[in-house]
Amino acid sequence: MKLQFVGGCDNSDCPKGFLTDRGTLVLQGYKVTDPAAVSALSLPDGETAVEIPRSLLDEMTARLRSEL
């Protein structure tokens, strides 16, 4: 899988987003660990949830729209 950076910081330890060559998005964020939130999400095996700032989603959306 090839990743194209589409938003976030340049560090390795902060939220960011990538577009893949499969037409999907990969998000790096803070793993959701709050037991109530994890329970409400009902995550199946093989899935996890990450929390990202709203500003990252806004940045990624703007960048992806400008590339179309």
Nearest to 30 by CA among 52, 10, 63: 52
Average pLDDT over residues 9-20: 89
* Confidence (pLDDT) at 12: 79
pLDDT by residue (tens digit) across 16-55? 999 999 999 999 999 999 999 999 999 899 999 999 999 9
Mean pLDDT of the chain: 92
Q: Looking at residue 44, what DSSP letter applies?
A: P
Q: What is the torsional sign of CA 43, 50, 53, 23?
A: negative
pLDDT band, residue 68 (cuts 50/70/90): low
